[in-house]
Amino acid sequence: MSTRVFAALVVALLTVSGCGGSSGDSDPKTLKLWHYEGPDSAMGKAWDAAIAKFEEKHPGVKVAFEEKGFEQIQKTAPMVLNSNEAPDILEYNKGNATTGLLSKQGLLADLSEQVASRGWDKLMAPNLKTTSQYDDRGVMGSGKWFGIPNYAEYVTVYYNKDMFAARGIAVPKTLAEFTAAMDAFVAAGVTPLAVGGGEYPAQQVLYQLALSKADRAWVDRYQRYTGDVDFHDAAWTYGATTFADWVAKKYISPESSGVKAEDMGLSFIQGKFPIMVSGSWWQGRMTAGIKDFQWGSFLWPGNKLNAGSSGNQWVVPAGSKNKDLAYDFIDITLSPEIQDVLRAAGGIPISTGGTPSTDPAAKALNDDFDTLAGNDGLAYYPDWPAPGYYDVMVSATQKLITGTASPSQVLDELAKPYAENRANIGG
Amino acid sequence: MSVAPAVDRPSRAEPARSAPPRRRGGGRGGYLVFLIPGALLLLAVVIVPFAMNVGISFTRWSGVGDPVWIGFENYAKLFADSAFWASFRHNVGLIVAMAILPTTAGLIVAAALFDFVGKRFGPRAASVLRACVYLPQVLPIAVAGIVWSWILAPQGGALNAFLDAVGLGALAQDWLGNPDIALYSVMGVLAWIQLGYPVVIFMAGMQRVDPALLEAAELDGASWWGRFWHVTVPGIRPEVFVVLLTCSIAALKVFGPIYVLTRGGPAGATNVPSYFSFQNFFERTRVGYGAAIATVLTVLILLLTAFFLRVQNRREDG
């Protein structure tokens, strides 16, 4: 090969490999923002209002908003934040496996100083802060602030009021009353629980059952690695065996193992099931979609601890060239005006006070959240402790639904990846 | 090479028209310039990333920060991982669904369209039917997957509703949610998607088969089946090899349908190496382990390709 050909080859290879100049130069007149909330969701509406407010307060600065998918950000954030293409601010998931991992790698800006000077920590209930702070291992609950949430979420029980009334069933106050209500539906030939075994909903039922026998120290050991976790302790054993029992008693259909969360939600909205245990993020869909029957929500009966946490949070990439603008934007999303927009649209604002919602269903949802937050009852989500634990949980609950593994085998399956992750982070 | 007689040789004053023009630079190396774009792309898109992937497979890495060199630890863990072996077992099923079944059925469908429909109803009818069979290949997998997940849904799914309607309600199943049958359901969907590809290739190949051979066989009293098996199939053997090879590779790499239909579930019953690798890369942030899975899968595909090509060459030489 001639020298000329070789030189051409090297130059071309460098070009193709992307070893040229960067295209990610920052523009002080633009705030590059990414988030993945749908335009009709409470958060989407609130943040549209926040963008308008920000541009009004910062004449000459344009917010360049790029709508991303949850999966898109989840899968590519570490690589994107390591590149010149990172935005100035983005919405990101909370927990050890997500914000914790990025903070540990030094990809996120430390927000502690801003939190102190702007008083953001005064706006939220104590256990909403847990998901904002991470230690050097990337474990939540203590250390520096790397994320700022501006809404909250929790697992609640949605119910079809008409179906309850038709059988004279009252809103249950205890787990025994809850199971009695489900027995009444089964006796009438109705499967009581809409469950999505193919995605997150089933594991939340399992976790709620385990939480009924747990305390705050149990949650801290599991979620924050404050001590050893025994997956065959009373709480986990009760959760797994009761879940299997609920399948056997036909509270949960064995055919729900492959059902996606969306299909579960639709089946409830269409009036096919009287009860659905899932997150408060469904509120907007319920309001918009249910036309043929009365519905409402109540807290999972009898639990002091309940799956829930702050919502996803704003993070500022370490490489952001417009950090001050990003902090101003976060400040605006936490302002009473924007938090009221969030509440009015069916979301749960993070800051207390503000104008109560006029919609009774939204008010009930917010009141229940205040009850939980006031009792230090938020226990986060079952898939948080380890990266990839979501799939482990989905697979485990599918086995309980299909009966392909005993509760004890399922708990062994949960224990192994958890222990591996603990070993990896040195927790 | 024969030598031309002296009288035919051109004189120096009169160069032969057929003599190749002299090229600057001389030799065959000049043509290498034209290979540069393709070679560069191959290098940048395939060879360099693969080499990096192999390198990463010897590390513990979460995808950000510095990878930690751990030698063959990922591979040792991989070969002891029951989920990894299960994913390969599932892949065998998918090779049946994506390579063997469509090739077999494709031969029959192509022969029926070519010999029966084409001759009785005209080539246009055969073309329309061929296009219909090929349609699933054109549909985006995300669309096809979602439609199939509706069809196979346990409650309100079209398949169970149909079984109910014809009095076979007892056969209704949770097609994608029951771990005992989910893999077979996925295999069915994949066979449906894949069938059009061999049909199109085989019909094109059948046009190459010398009609005189088929005529002679017919005159000798060979049945349709005899003519098909002893004349047509051997005539399109290269196409059969190509289809088997490409479909087997596609089956080993299959990702989209699994992602859309089952995400490897229920309880890992339909997990395959490519999805398993993806899970480790992006969901478990075990990039080194995911890279080891991807490396093993690549080596396996290369071995399979080499085996197929060797068998094909032997047959052609024989």
Are β-strands A62-67 and A133-134 bridged in parallel, bridged antiparallel, or unpaired?
Answer: unpaired
Q: Cβ contact (<8 Å) for B265 and A394?
A: yes
Please list every residue in chain A whose beta carbon sits closer than 8 Å to the beta carbon of residue B29. Answer: 1-2
Query: Is the confidence at residue A240, as pLDDT, over 50?
Result: yes
Nearest-5° Cα angle at B123, B117 to B126: 50
- How far, in Å, CA of B168 to CA of B160, rounded? 9
Q: Cβ contact (<8 Å) for B177 and A402?
A: yes
Q: Please check whether residue A252 touches B, CB under 8 A.
A: no
pLDDT for residue B26: 52
Q: Cβ contact (<8 Å) for A16 and B44?
A: yes
Q: B5: left (phi > 0), else alpha (psi -120 to 50), else beta?
A: beta
pLDDT for residue A389: 86
pLDDT tier, A8 (very low <50, low <70, confident <90, very high otherwise): very low
- How far, in Å, CA of B274 to CA of A323, rounded? 39
Q: How distant is the Cα of A402 from the closest Cα of chain B, in angstroms?
A: 7
Please list every residue in chain A whose beta carbon sits closer than 8 Å to the beta carbon of residue B284. Answer: 386-388, 391, 417
Residue of A nearest to B29 (CA): A1
* B44: nearest CB among A17, A102, A106: A17
Query: Is the confidence at residue A338, as pLDDT, over 60?
Result: yes
Using a 10 angstrom Cβ sphere, with 0-12 exposed, 13-18 middle and 19 or more buried, the burial of residue B222 is: middle
| Spatial contact of A177 and A301, defined as CB atoms under 8 Å apart | yes
Query: Is the confidence at residue B57, as pLDDT, over 80?
Result: yes
What residues does A252 pair with on adjacent strands? A193
List pLDDT tens digits, range B210-221.
989 989 998 999
Q: How distant is the Cα of B180 from the closest Cα of chain A, in angstroms?
A: 9
- How far, in Å, CA of A315 to CA of A149, rounded? 9
pLDDT tier, A19 (very low <50, low <70, confident <90, very high otherwise): very low
**Phi, then psi, of A90 in degrees rounded to 5:** -150, 160
Q: Cβ contact (<8 Å) for B64 and A388?
A: no
Query: Is the confidence at residue B17, as pLDDT, over 70?
Result: no
pTM (2 d.p.): 0.77
Could you please report the per-residue DSSP string of B250-301? HHHH--HHHHHHTTT-STTTT--HHHHHHIIIIIS--HHHHHHHHHHHHHHH
Within B96-122, residue ranges assigned H as helices are 101-111, 118-121
pLDDT tier, B6 (very low <50, low <70, confident <90, very high otherwise): very low
Q: Please check whether residue A5 touches B, CB under 8 A.
A: yes
The sign of the torsion formed by the CA atoms of A95, A96, A99, A103 equals positive
Q: By percentage, how much of chain A surpasses pLDDT 90?
A: 58
Which A residues in the span 198-227 are in contact with B, Cβ-Cβ below 8 Å?
198
Q: Cβ contact (<8 Å) for B64 and A102?
A: yes
pLDDT tier, A128 (very low <50, low <70, confident <90, very high otherwise): confident
Alpha carbon of A324 to those of A109, A316, A329: distances in Å? 11, 10, 9
| Spatial contact of B44 and A13, defined as CB atoms under 8 Å apart | yes
| Residues with Cβ within 8 Å of residue A105, at least 6 apart in sequence | A78, B62, B64, B65
Alpha carbon of A52 to those of A47, A62, A415, B188: distances in Å? 8, 10, 47, 51
- How far, in Å, CA of A21 to CA of A15, rounded? 10
| Spatial contact of A139 and A384, defined as CB atoms under 8 Å apart | no
Q: By percentage, how much of chain A surpasses pLDDT 70?
A: 92
Residue of B nearest to A387 (CA): B284
pLDDT for residue A426: 54
The sign of the torsion formed by the CA atoms of B265, B268, B271, B275 equals positive
